[in-house]
Amino acid sequence: MVYDLIIRGGLVYDGSGKPPAVSDIAVKNGKIAKMSPSITDHAEKIVNAEGKCVTPGFVDVHTHYDGQATWDDHMTPSSNLGTTTVVMGNCGVGFAPCRPEDRDVLVQLMEGVEEIPGTALAEGIPWTWESFPDYLRALETRQRDIDIAVFMPHGPLRVFVMGERGVNREAATPDDIEQMKGLVAEGLEAGAIGLSSSRTLLHLSSSGKNVPTFEASANEMKALGSMLKGDSGHVLQFISDFKDAEEEFDILRQTSAATGAKGTFTLIPIENPSEGMNEDPDLWRTHLARIEDAQAQGLDIRGQVISRPIGILMGHTASMSPFYRRPSYTRLSSLSVPERMAKLREPETKSAILSEANDNPHIFVQLLSTNFDAMYPMENPIEYLPNNENSVAARAAAQGRDPEEWLYDFLAENDGGNLIYIPATSKSKTKIAELLKHPFTVEALGDGGAHVGSICDTSSNIYLLTKWVFDEGLFSLEEGIKMITNVPAEFFSFKDRGLIAEGMKADMNIIDFDQLRLKTPHVVDDLPGGGSRFLQNADGILATFVAGQMIFENGRPTGELPGKLVKPVAAPAYA
């Protein structure tokens, strides 16, 4: 037998949670064909993994590559960090179905909700589709490095059927709902893995309006959810403020009970909820009890959690800062970076900016930019669970200075390259650990492809290993690997991945865990139109394989692009 690839001598963590074992792995036609302590057959490519570890490729079920996947070959910052399958179309935002006259509306939705520059979206998206099946066909015919799966998003669906009434969040009529149900059925038949929606006031279009799905009736959600099919592995996903927590959770509960589909939602502890949100500080624990009750009834509903606080990065090189939309600051936008930094250091400019307020800032700035006790100068390497004594407030107090004025000077230093890190959700180790350890949660919420100028949390799956396995000892390494491979793959019914076993898809990483370290995020200017975004790298990930083809080696792309569109079991393949 001549194989396409043999990985020899690696310590294999197979994703099942079992202790590792040294094994050779042979790959043929994109699948694992043989595993044995010693495979003596020949192969076109042999990789020596002795002294290193082999894991399944990571599966990330909460990303927003909906635009990037139409123009980019590489789904970074996911594929360069060991992820081999991503789920996009989360939170009800996306780009299909879409009539030509509604393209700007959907761009504004994605720009506002997921903070992807509208200029990049406008220039990068080819818009070769109108229907959702045509969008999937466009994705399927484009080469990329890793596999993608796609939710059908509620926002575009509402705009497509209801037009301006949908944008203005009017109640859907019975006829509207029937039309949307038909389109959901069409999208699922074509290969959508489920339906997603957003029900939070934190999600705003770049126009400043709430998204079309905010406060859509529970009956509308349940009607659309009725089109899902459990035997096809469909999933209903949403984010909600849970103002009426029982009614919101009942959307998931009734949909799952009626269809057999799975349900999942964003589950994070928030210390200071915004006005209009559920103000119960223990809401997350109440949700865990609801999930346990649903599971006891045979309903597979799980919370999506993250291994660290959702982290906002702000500064002059980021897309926002506490000063970025103050009038005297915006008047400097046409200057070159050196000229702008020199101007910002002038006493009269500083005095003017500090006396002003931001004009229509992003929701992150509205909520977080004056909470100096909870913002921290970003260090190298980045500390995701910083100590309170390192906060901006504490550093300013130590110098007897006003914290806003201290922050202004800090951000102007280092040629304007300094950044602050703001944990936007709880940084309580106890709470994060409780959520991660719960049997019915899924590690997710890295938001790959989204918030490109202010969040770089795609590495949260690796952080689970570096922090909660190695530093804290909360999990064994085999348990941690299972949590970011087999658990999400199983929940989304991706039956051919998430495990290293004969017959499974050959998506794998070779990792030197002694060297596994996350590097501090950095800015690159590679979006369409020259837009900027944060990327992050890691040491220790030696090679990543998709369908047996090496896509990254020591952090560098190899040029191989074997990624495919992943569809539910029952969805037909396109000719």
Q: Which CATH number do you get for residue 487?
A: 3.20.20.140
Q: Is residue 570 included in any domain, yes or no?
A: no
**361, 534, 85, 189: CA torsion to nearest 10:** 30
How many residues make up the chain in this entry? 575
Domain boundary among 407, 423, 439: 423
Same domain? 150 vs 215: yes
CA 536/CA 454 separation, integer angstroms: 13
Same domain? 84 vs 204: yes
From 498, 510, 485, 503, select the one nearest 32 (Cα to Cα): 503
**Bridge pairing between strands 2-12 and 53-56:** parallel
Q: Is residue 563 included in any domain, yes or no?
A: no
**Bridge pairing between strands 152-153 and 147-150:** unpaired
Largest CA distance in the chain: 76
Q: Is residue 404 included in any domain, yes or no?
A: yes
**Please, which residues bridge with residue 35 across strands?**
25
DSSP annotation of 79 reads: G
User: Whole domain around residue 27: which residue ranges?
Assistant: 2-56+504-557
Please report the pLDDT score of residue 276 as a whole number: 67
At position 431, the amino acid (one-letter code) is K
Please report the pLDDT score of residue 575 as a whole number: 29
Please report the pLDDT score of residue 112 as a whole number: 82
Same domain? 347 vs 462: no
Domain boundary among 423, 449, 480: 423
Same domain? 192 vs 302: yes
Please report the pLDDT score of residue 573 as a whole number: 43
Tell me how crowded residue 38 is: count the other CB atoms within 10 A of its CB.
9
Q: Give the model confidence (pLDDT) of 204-252 as tens digits.
A: 787 778 888 888 999 999 999 999 999 999 999 999 999 899 999 999 9
**Please, which residues bridge with residue 190 across strands?**
none
Q: Is residue 496 included in any domain, yes or no?
A: no
19: domain CATH number is 2.30.40.10
Q: Please check whether residue 59 is in contact with residue 121, taking contact to mean a CB–CB distance below 8 angstroms.
A: no
DSSP 3-state percent helix, strand, coil across the chain (nearest 5): 35, 20, 45
Tell me how crowded residue 298 is: count the other CB atoms within 10 A of its CB.
9
Q: Is residue 33 included in any domain, yes or no?
A: yes
**Total count of domains within the chain:** 3
CA 340/CA 331 separation, integer angstroms: 10
**Please, which residues bridge with residue 157 across strands?**
none
Same domain? 438 vs 473: yes
Same domain? 144 vs 237: yes
DSSP annotation of 63 reads: B
DSSP annotation of 554 reads: T
Q: Give the model confidence (pLDDT) of 323-381 as tens digits.
A: 999 999 999 999 998 999 999 999 999 999 999 999 989 889 998 999 999 999 998 88
Same domain? 383 vs 436: no
CA 258/CA 260 separation, integer angstroms: 6
Same domain? 181 vs 274: yes
Same domain? 481 vs 438: yes
CA 127/CA 116 separation, integer angstroms: 17
Same domain? 430 vs 418: no
Same domain? 295 vs 175: yes
From 573, 563, 570, 572, select the one nearest 85 (Cα to Cα): 563
Domain boundary among 491, 526, 544: 491
Same domain? 239 vs 110: yes
CA 395/CA 374 separation, integer angstroms: 12
Please report the pLDDT score of residue 516 as a whole number: 98
Q: Is residue 358 included in any domain, yes or no?
A: yes
Q: Is residue 567 included in any domain, yes or no?
A: no
Q: Is residue 564 included in any domain, yes or no?
A: no
Low-confidence ranges of the chain (pLDDT < 50): 571-575
